């Protein structure tokens, strides 16, 4: 706030109209200062208020900033004893000449106009002018998503004069690299703003010539935590869930099939969810690689069980055919029967009551080939004993198929290896 000081400064005690003081009507302000002469240098200063949003789908960003221009127009000089300036709001802008800076590659922009146009004009006695306004601009930014969401985007806002080439108006950063200031805490929820810096260059238009162009460049690095929680973690859990199927008894057909199929469905839903908020680019993104490889793992676990089941039934059929070729053992003594195929025959059952398997030839059963009956061995049921000829007997129904056994190691091992490669490449 200003304290009104009583002094004899003409800037504070002028009673007449501003236009008379500034002699606005004496000059034609549609012409630039020093018209016909050398180029007028206009210094630019920017203070960033906020980065409002970055949109991947539209590939643009929205920024609010204070844009200040500094130049000298002798037609606006006025006599003064102290060196103080006169401050005006936006209504004087229409009457004098101001530089016509625009934002190249901007999609939409506006000067805020609440409660009145947010424009300030400050005129110094020697004709120096400070012209400041508050603008929100939405500008294009070409984004490269091949490493999304572990990516960094570099965007820039470009200022240029629309009408005046570099022979008429020279645009430059007033304080070099320090011309760009940012408000206390500019922060975005999804990005970390790495740095802001300014550059300037010349731009050529074939029909109209060379123009000075000023750049505000900034780099944004995406925070990955949200995507870890939203996409990577569920996908990893689904893959791990599909491995559970290798530990379930292979005879539990409905269980293993529905486990596999439901993990495939969930992976498909996760993949659809990610692409909903992304632009439709023509190359593969880092998150796509991860999700599709996980999908393939889950898919393969379903195929693995189909193979296990198929081979089981094939084996079973073979066994059955082989067993049918054995002659009927009715009437044969129990011991011989046993040696042939390890089965008890019903016809001799009454003489076999109480028979335990300790009296059988010792078994060389391996643990994994144990038939389910082994669980009841304390009841001393007839565990198959291989007959000398009858190896064919009961080897069939093993608890664990070899494919399952290997899968329990191969699938997790390969997935962990894939993760190691993925995170080291993209991090």
Instruction: Kindly identify the residues of this chain, within the stretch 190-209, that bind another protein according to CB under 8 A.
Output: 205-208
Q: CB neighbours of 235 closer than 8 A, spacing ≥ 6?
A: 267, 270, 290, 291, 294
- What is the nearest approach in angstroms of another protein to the Cβ of residue 149? 16
- What is the nearest approach in angstroms of another protein to the Cβ of residue 379? 5
Task: Pick from 212, 245, 301, 343 the residue near another protein by CB under 8 A.
Answer: 343
- What is the nearest approach in angstroms of another protein to the Cβ of residue 422? 18
Are the beta carbons of 223 and 193 closer than 8 angstroms? no
Alpha-carbon gap, residue 342 to 354, rounded angstroms: 16
Which residue's CB is nearer to another protein, number 344 or number 426?
A: 344
- What is the nearest approach in angstroms of another protein to the Cβ of residue 14? 27
Task: Pick from 11, 231, 345, 407 the residue near another protein by CB under 8 A.
Answer: 345
Alpha-carbon gap, residue 102 to 214, rounded angstroms: 11
Are the beta carbons of 260 and 227 closer than 8 angstroms? no
Which residue's CB is nearer to another protein, number 202 or number 375?
A: 375
Alpha-carbon gap, residue 164 to 346, rounded angstroms: 109
Q: Are strands 128-140 and 191-205 parallel, antiparallel or unpaired?
A: unpaired
Which residue's CB is nearer to another protein, number 125 or number 157?
A: 157
DSSP symbols for 106-151: EEEEEE--SSS--EEEEE-TTSEEEEEEEEEEEEE-----TTTTS-
For the segment 301-330, give every residue that binds another protein (CB under 8 A): 302-303, 306-307, 309-310, 312-314, 316-317, 320, 324, 328-330
HEC profile for 200-231? EEEEEECCCEEEEEEEEEEEEEECCHHHHHHH
Q: 305: how many CB neighbours lie within 10 A of its CB?
A: 24
- What is the nearest approach in angstroms of another protein to the Cβ of residue 184? 25
- What is the nearest approach in angstroms of another protein to the Cβ of residue 259? 10
- What is the nearest approach in angstroms of another protein to the Cβ of residue 348? 10
Task: Pick from 279, 361, 368, 425 the residue near another protein by CB under 8 A.
Answer: 279
End-to-end CA gap in the chain: 51
- What is the nearest approach in angstroms of another protein to the Cβ of residue 277? 12
For the segment 357-386, give every residue that binds another protein (CB under 8 A): 372-373, 375-376, 379-382, 384
- What is the nearest approach in angstroms of another protein to the Cβ of residue 120? 13
For the segment 1-60, give every residue that binds another protein (CB under 8 A): 30-31, 35, 58-59
Q: Is 177 in the site for another protein (CB under 8 A)?
A: no
For the segment 90-119, give every residue that binds another protein (CB under 8 A): 98-111
Among candidate residues 308, 291, 333, the one with its CA nearest the CA of residue 400: 308
Are the beta carbons of 408 and 247 closer than 8 angstroms? yes
Alpha-carbon gap, residue 238 to 283, rounded angstroms: 25
For the segment 210-269, give every residue that binds another protein (CB under 8 A): 249, 251-258, 261-262, 264-265, 268-269
Q: Is 332 in the site for another protein (CB under 8 A)?
A: no
Q: Is 168 in the site for another protein (CB under 8 A)?
A: yes
Q: Are strands 40-55 and 169-173 parallel, antiparallel or unpaired?
A: parallel
- What is the nearest approach in angstroms of another protein to the Cβ of residue 319? 10
Which residue's CB is nearer to another protein, number 32 or number 222?
A: 32
Q: Is 414 in the site for another protein (CB under 8 A)?
A: no
Q: Is 277 in the site for another protein (CB under 8 A)?
A: no
Scan for tokens 């229409």, then name that residue.
94
Are the beta carbons of 73 and 33 closer than 8 angstroms? yes
For another protein (CB under 8 A), the number of binding residues is: 98
Which residue's CB is nearer to another protein, number 240 or number 396?
A: 396
Query: Radius of gyration over alpha carbons of the chain, in Å?
Result: 42
Which residue's CB is nearer to another protein, number 106 or number 419?
A: 106
The stretch near another protein (CB under 8 A) out of 4-12, 80-88, 162-170, 234-242 is 162-170
Alpha-carbon gap, residue 191 to 224, rounded angstroms: 9
């Amino acid at each position: 706030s200003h304290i009104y000081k009583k002094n004899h400064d003409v800037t504070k005690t002028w009673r007449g109209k501003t236009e008379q003081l500034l002699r606005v009507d004496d000059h034609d302000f549609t012409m630039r200062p020093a018209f016909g002469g050398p180029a007028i240098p206009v210094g630019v200063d920017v203070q960033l208020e906020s980065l409002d949003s970055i949109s991947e789908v539209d590939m643009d960003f929205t920024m609010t900033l204070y844009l200040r221009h500094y130049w000298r127009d002798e037609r606006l000089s006025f006599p003064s004893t102290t060196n103080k300036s006169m401050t005006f709001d936006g209504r004087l802008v229409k009457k004098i000449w101001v530089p016509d800076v625009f934002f190249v590659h901007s999609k939409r922009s506006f000067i805020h106009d609440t409660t009145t146009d947010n424009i300030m004009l400050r005129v110094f006695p020697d004709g120096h002018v400070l012209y400041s306004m508050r603008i929100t601009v939405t500008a294009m930014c070409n984004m490269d998503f091949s490493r999304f969401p572990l990516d960094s985007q570099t965007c820039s806002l470009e200022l240029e004069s629309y009408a005046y080439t570099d022979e008429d108006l020279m645009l430059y950063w007033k304080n070099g690299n320090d011309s760009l200031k940012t408000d206390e805490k500019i922060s975005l929820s999804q990005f970390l703003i790495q740095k802001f810096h300014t550059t300037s260059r010349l731009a050529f238009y074939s029909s109209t010539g060379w123009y000075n162009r000023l750049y505000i460049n900034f780099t944004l690095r995406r925070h990955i935590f949200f995507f870890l929680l939203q996409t990577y973690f569920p996908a990893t859990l689904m893959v791990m869930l599909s491995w559970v199927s290798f530990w379930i008894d292979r005879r539990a057909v409905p269980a293993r099939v529905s486990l596999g199929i439901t993990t495939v469905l969930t992976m498909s839903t996760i993949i659809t969810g990610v692409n909903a908020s992304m632009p439709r680019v023509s190359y593969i993104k880092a998150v796509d690689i991860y999700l599709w490889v996980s999908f393939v793992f889950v898919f393969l676990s379903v195929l693995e069980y189909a193979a296990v089941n198929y081979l089981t039934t094939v084996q079973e059929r073979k066994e059955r055919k082989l067993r049918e070729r054995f002659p009927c053992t009715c009437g044969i003594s129990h011991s011989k029967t046993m040696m042939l195929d390890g089965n008890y025959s019903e016809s001799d059952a009454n003489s076999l009551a109480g028979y335990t398997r300790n009296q059988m030839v010792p078994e060389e059963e391996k643990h994994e080939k144990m038939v389910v009956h082994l669980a009841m061995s304390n009841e001393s049921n007839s565990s198959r004993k291989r007959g000398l000829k009858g190896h064919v007997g009961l080897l069939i129904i093993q608890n664990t198929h070899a494919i399952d056994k290997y899968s329990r190691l191969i699938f997790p091992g390969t997935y962990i290896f894939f993760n190691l490669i993925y995170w080291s490449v993209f991090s």
